[in-house]
Structure 1
Amino acid sequence: MGAVRATPTGGARPKTARLGELDALRGLAALAVVAFHYTTSYAQQVGHLQPLGFGFTPGNYGVHLFFLISGYVIFMTLEHTRDGMDFVVSRFSRLYPAYWFCIAVTAAVVAAIGLPAQQLAPAELALNLTMVQQFLGGEHLDGSYWTLQVELFFYAQMLLWFMLGQLRHIHWIIAAWLVLAVAHGLVSADGQHFSYTVRELLILRHIPFFALGIVFYRLQQQRSGRDLDIAMIGLCLVAIGIANGPVLLLVALVCTTVFALFVAGRLRFLCIGPFAWLGAISYPLYLLHQAIGFALIHRLEQRGVPSLAAVGLAVVVALSLATAVNRWVERPAMEAIRRTWRRQRERLATA
């Protein structure tokens, strides 16, 4: 969920060009999730002392745009990765240092001013350091963390196919994903048992969205087989409609439209300062906003601050914290880890 470094796309972009549109889309999706949590979700879980009179339910589906972006970016990354360890170091440096720091900040704020329901036992808090606490039977310190496990399991799947040399058969892999996703959806709808482990490890409830991102990356490369890629987009949408129902089908159609505009070069207007900043801070913003925001809104409202003003102040705090983490933690840690790995790899190559 951090900023994206791109590779050539159909000759239209220079090598290592920055895909500003994707950064901006990620930032806007993160902001939509914040708006949903501070309005609709907070009203449902806690309750504003002075009802806002509005919410932002569509923001709940910003995460599905994240999944398309990840499908695009991870397939692109692996196509230009020399070996598995390069990919592991790249993903680890992107995800974990900022995540661990944000856990520490969130835990401190929750301990100081958090609601009772936000408090976690030390063992649960330690389990959160893995990023797969839900799979291990634990609770999330921040409710937003559930998508990180989904992303991590997607990375693991893609790394496996890369190591097996099977990414050249990505259409067959996607077809298998869609069959399994539909099978899970039909079995669940019928009230039958489906393996929890298989569902979670293969992220069957979400994998068609990642598949859409992969296919759009292929389309943007202007390779042969474009008709097949377009057909695969249609199959992904059909699978989502069958497995996930009409609401997520509508979400998928919106995400597909957005990505079609991106691939066609119609979103370059997003490559401006405010959107670039929002894209750069999207990952720490996502990590920090919910638990801290809920605690802050609750405290402010208890002290007589109007609910709308409390929400506005929480947004400002979340954006400010995310900017600070991006500048002083996320980017420096990522660069340091990758620099250390490059040096280690060079030493191994000359040994």
Structure 2
Amino acid sequence: MTSREVPVAAPRAVHGAPTARRGDHAVLATRRNSLNLIRLVLALAVLVFHAYPLGGFTGKPTLLGVGLGGWAVAGFFCLSGYLIQASRDSRPVETYLMLRIARIFPAYWVCLVVTAFVFAPAAYVMAKGTIDGFLTSGPTAPLDYVLTNAFLRINSYAVGDTLTTVPYPVAWNGSLWTLYYEFICYLALAVLGVFAWWRGRIAVLVALAAVTALAVGYPHVAPYVGNDPHVANLVALAPYFFAGAAVYRWRDRVPLTWPVALLSAGLVVGASALDPQRGPVLTAAAFATALLYLGTVLPSPRWVRGNDVSYGVYIYAFPVQQLLVVFGVHTAGLWPYVIATTALTALAAVGSWYAIERPALRTARRRLDRRSGRSPVEAVPAGESVAAVGGPAAVGAAVDADRAQVGAVATSA
């Protein structure tokens, strides 16, 4: 869900401002930017959005007719497209893929194991008063939950006979499903980067136009692909990813200045107000530009700039929220519940970063350095971070669609 690897000239800015200048254009500084902070805010926005259904609270926060979670996910994909295109442009395909795998999978696998063998047993004991029968209860045994979901495509949301009496039953992690589509976008860039024609500016605009047209016209296409929800989600999310990639490719021509950011934000607001379904996707590049501008001007704490915990927040928030519901924390009210889940999720995210994510990236980099004969580089670039976070079809719609899908699992379990 960072930025040190973006290969852009980055003279140290005065007074800590996270911008650099190239000619007459403001560009994103390679190290001194606030993208980690922005991604962290987006991950927390997803947490707040999920707090309503998970805690059994009525309503949901929306903006311009789109759920807060939808905007956050779209933002993740925009930033991811920018950073991952930068990574692909600066590395051979095998190096690029190894770093992408190191960034996504180790923490993801640990999250599955912690959910299945720590959180779920605690919920089971809370409900049953004993651990007896946990390993063989319910439609999905704990080990099956880990194995069937191991390669990002979520095939089971349930762990044993747990979460049967909570407001949002059965599902232990309704956020992880988005990572599958994000990784498909990573693979798409891996393949496209092989071709010389992809290295030009026009190619990425053609790709963005194509995926945007497909997203807007998808209702007419859906019957021809069997109304496959996986295709629908990928089609809905791809425009945001490729919008970020396009902004990266055109970074020398599109200045990250306040007039451009203001115009971009105005386009997003206007289009979304007129058409909440299609407006956001049609202005995805403008949305990406506005977010990246914030990355150049917002002050960020030094620790946040050097440590990307947004991925950990994204993957642990949902199970932490469910576990606290089991223990009745939600009965104290929405905001006490949000504060408690934020605190515990932050602990899990920081632990994941220091114990799993950063060591995995360093190990991958050392192996690559040995293979290439270079001296190992100690620093872990924020640019190796994932944009965690995934996203809803047509921005907000797939959050609700996924909720319905998980609900169907709950009723059929």
Bin for the TM-score computed over the shorter chain: 0.7 to 0.9
- Closer/same/farther in 2, CA of residues 170 and 155 from structure 1, 3 Å limit: same
Q: What do residues 142-174 of structure 1 show as CA deviations (whole Å, max 9, x unaligned)?
A: 110111001011011111111233413223333
**Distance 1:289-1:324 versus aligned 2 partners, 3 A rule:** same
Q: Which residue of 1 aligns with 2:42?
A: 29
Contact 1:281–1:323 (CA under 8 A) maintained in structure 2: yes
Give the alignment's TM-score, normalised by structure 2.
Answer: 0.65
Amino acid at match of 1:295: L
AA at the equivalent of 2:319: A
- The match for 2:328 is 300
Aligned to 2:6: 6
Shift in Å, 1:255: 6.3
Tell me by how many angstroms 1:290 deviates.
Answer: 0.1
Query: Which residue in the other structure is 2:208 paired with?
Result: 174
**Contact (CA 8 Å) 1:93, 1:338: kept in 2 or not?**
no
Equivalent residue runs for 1:138-287 within 5 Å: 138-139=156-157, 141-167=172-198, 168=200, 169-188=203-222, 192-195=223-226, 200=231, 203-222=234-253, 246-252=275-281, 259-262=288-291, 264=293, 267-273=296-302, 276=305, 280-287=308-315
Contact 1:220–1:263 under 8 Å retained in 2: no
C-alpha displacement at 1:266, in angstroms?
A: 7.5
Q: Is the 8 A contact 2:36 2:305 kept in 1?
A: yes
Q: Post-superposition shift, 1:330?
A: 1.0
Tell me which amino acid in the other structure corresponds to 1:270: P
Q: Distance in 1 between matches of 2:99 and 2:301?
A: 26
CA distance in 2, matches of 1:54, 1:183: 30
- Would you say the 8 A contact 1:27–1:282 is kept in 2? yes
Q: Give the Cα separation in 2 of the matches to 1:76 and 1:195.
A: 35
Name structure 1 gaps, 5 residues minimum: 224-232
Match of 1:327 in 2: 354
Determine the structure 1 residue equivalent to 2:393. none
Task: Tell me the CA shift for residue 218 of structure 1.
Answer: 2.6
Distance 2:369 2:241 in 1: 29
**What is the CA distance between 1:254 and its match in structure 2?**
8.2
Report the RMSD for the aligned CA atoms in angstroms.
3.8
Q: Which runs of 5+ in 2 are unaligned?
A: 10-20, 128-136, 158-170, 255-263, 375-413
Deviates more, 1:196-205 or 1:60-69: 196-205
Cα distance in 2 for residues equivalent to 1:298 and 1:36: 19
Distance in 2 separating the partners of 1:294 and 1:15: 38
Which of these residues, 336, 339, 342, is aligned with residue 363 of structure 2? 336
2:319 to 284, 291, 302: 291
- TM-score, L = length of structure 1: 0.76
Code of the residue aligned with 2:276 in structure 1: it is: V
Q: Which residue of 2 aligns with 1:227?
A: none
Name the CA shift for 1:251/1:275 in 2 (closer, same or farther; >3 Å): farther
Q: SS of the counterpart of 2:235? A: coil
Paired positions, count:
317
- Measured after TM superposition, the shift of residue 341 of structure 1 is 2.3
Residue of structure 1 in register with 2:84 after alignment: 74
Query: Does the CA contact (< 8 Å) of 2:320 and 2:344 recur in 1?
Result: no
Which structure's residues are more often helix, by fraction? Answer: 1
Q: Partner of 1:163: helix, strand, or coil?
A: coil
- 1:118 and 1:166 mapped to 2: Cα distance? 52
Find the aligned partners of 1:59 and 1:274 in 2 and give their Cα distance: 26
Q: 2:103 aligns with which of 70, 94, 102?
A: 94
State the match for 1:226 in structure 2: none
Question: Which amino acid in 2 is paired with 1:151?
Answer: E
Cα-to-partner distance string for 1:271-328 (whole Å, 9 max, x where unaligned)? 3347537x711001111110222111331348x7556433322211001111121122
Moved more, 307-316 or 204-213: 307-316
The whole-number CA distance in structure 2 between the counterparts of 1:132 and 1:193 is 22
**Separation in 2 of the partners of 1:67 and 1:118?**
35
> Is the 1:153–1:202 contact (alpha carbons within 8 Å) kept by the matching residues of 2?
no
Cα distance, 1:306–1:24 mapped onto 2, change above 3 Å: closer
CA distance in 1, matches of 2:232, 2:373: 34
- Alignment check: 8 A CA contact 2:152 2:176 kept: yes
Give 2:324's aligned amino acid. L
